[in-house]
Structure 1
């Protein structure tokens, strides 16, 4: 298991302007609600019928179908948990330049980077974030 680099949303935004790719590992439903304009969406986990979550068994092959192991990737989910786990898998698979975006897409929205809609219209509820964020 490798250490995952975490960058804040301001650093991530700067890195995206110089060629890093935004890898959104939220579910398709979360992604369709709102996302970074040029994001690639490969869900790291799926919701089960019982309300739990399972790791997407095709996650690494899906990423490999688009990304090279030397691509610079900013990985994000809703709040950072899934993205951190996805980063570990990517690093263990040999991806060389992977960073978790701290706070996830919710922090991106909070920073005002997602447009002019109210944050409540853009974010998905998260048990790890206060309801007023």
Structure 2
């Protein structure tokens, strides 16, 4: 009996299939508007936008953008990163779907994912802050940091 040889493209697809995202977990096709930290700072300081920090509570407590609200998008657990399944619901407790929101995290990755989820949920004026809190600090913009005990 002769062996049938599969085309190499098909073999590659068969071998790569387990690496593809599961159905329903593809990233949103909705483009996420982004702004750099300088633009984000101006938008927030003008009073026209509110800042949503999607880092963990522990990260937020180490320092954050002034007058920001913290709603974690992910939790870091012993098992790894886990998505906050109530993220959109928790954000909706503090923001209207028409509010102007700047979303930030540490580097801009989580905030882009969080922004996409908010847009998909019907929030109309969401912008991801590129570079995140790290870029905010590197640009010398104002932050709230906890007071050290020896400074009290």
- TM-score, normalising length from structure 1? 0.83
Q: Deviations over 1:8-33 (max 9, x none)?
A: 00000111122200000000000000
Equivalent in 24, 27, 40 of residue 53 of structure 2: 24
Q: Aligned equivalents of 1:17 and 1:28: distance in 2?
A: 23
- TM-score, normalising length from structure 2? 0.73
Task: Name the SS of the counterpart of 1:113 in structure 2.
Answer: coil
Equivalent in 28, 32, 39 of residue 68 of structure 2: 39
Please list every run of 5 or more consecutive structure 2 residues that lacks an aligned counterpart in the other structure: 1-27, 146-152
Larger Rg: 2
Equivalent in 127, 133, 137 of residue 99 of structure 1: 127
Post-superposition offset of 1:114: 3.3
The ranges of structure 1 where at least 4 consecutive aligned residues each deviate by more than 4 angstroms after the TM superposition are none
Please list every run of 5 or more consecutive structure 1 residues that lacks an aligned counterpart in the other structure: 118-133
Structural RMSD (CA): 1.5
